[in-house]
Structure 1
Amino acid sequence: MACAALAACSGGESVPKGRVIDCAVGGAAKFLPDCFVEDSRVGDARFLTVRHKDGAFRRFQMVDDGRGVVSADGADEATAEWSSEGVLQVTVAGDRYRFPARMKADAPQP
């Protein structure tokens, strides 16, 4: 009962867990710090789960072939571009994400 009252007092909204990253979702033109990313592992595979403020999410699998990440779920393919500022920009459908990252020196150049 107390838990239900607490949820009602807070508006029932919860802030996603994880590190904040810049994103432009739903075809937005401007990047805002509105997404949250969490790391996880399944066996030797490493995943990034990006959560939007509205509850939607995308999962990416990290790869060591120079691309950075690939889509882990769904039918939409992710494309990734490295910037000279050390940012990996990933696009899936109408959503774009900016991950602070470093390209490995021995990775093939995209």
Structure 2
Amino acid sequence: MRAPLPILTLMLFACDAGPSLPAGKAGNGDDGHVACLIDGQSEWTRDCRYDQDGAILTLRHADGGFRRFRIVGDGRGLEPADGAEGAIIRIVDDGMIEVAVGPDRYRLPATMGQRR
């Protein structure tokens, strides 16, 4: 059984921002897919599947490729688990962030909060 995609929580700091990943669900009706643009595609699809094994989140492309991320608790939320390319994370909408690595982009659920 696949673990539900964790909901990303974005903690807003005075000078910087970054997501963290508490346990949670992607929402009712979670089908194991996330929106993605792979290798320069022009339209978003929900062709990417996810798997989570402990602190490793794997996003799988329809063509068999994949990206692995490590869930970290230092305010960034995700970092690439392998490869030399860094991840760029930005808020795209209320409840949604975009993670970009090289030519690949993924949209993941997020809840926004402020650290006090």
TM-score with structure 2 length normalisation? 0.66
Detail structure 1 runs of 4+ shifted over 6 Å in the superposition.
none
Name the one with the larger helix percent.
Answer: 1
Q: What is the percentage of aligned positions where both structures have the same residue?
A: 40
User: How many angstroms apart in 1 are the aligned matches of 2:43 and 2:90?
Assistant: 17
Aligned length: 86
C-alpha RMSD of the superposition: 1.9
Unmatched 5+ stretches in structure 1: 1-17
Aligned 8 A contact 1:51 1:58 in 2: yes
Name the one with the larger strand percent.
Answer: 2
TM-score with structure 1 length normalisation? 0.69
Higher RCO (CA < 8 A, seq sep 6+): 2
Q: Which moved more, 1:51-60 or 1:81-90?
A: 81-90
Deviations 1:51-105 (A, max 9, x none): 0011101001112333221111111111111234111200000000011122453
The one-letter amino acid paired with 2:60 is R
Unmatched 5+ stretches in structure 2: 1-30
Residue 92 (structure 1) aligned with residue 98 (structure 2): no
Structure-2 change in CA distance of 1:87 and 1:56 (3 Å): same
Highest CA radius of gyration, 1 or 2? 1
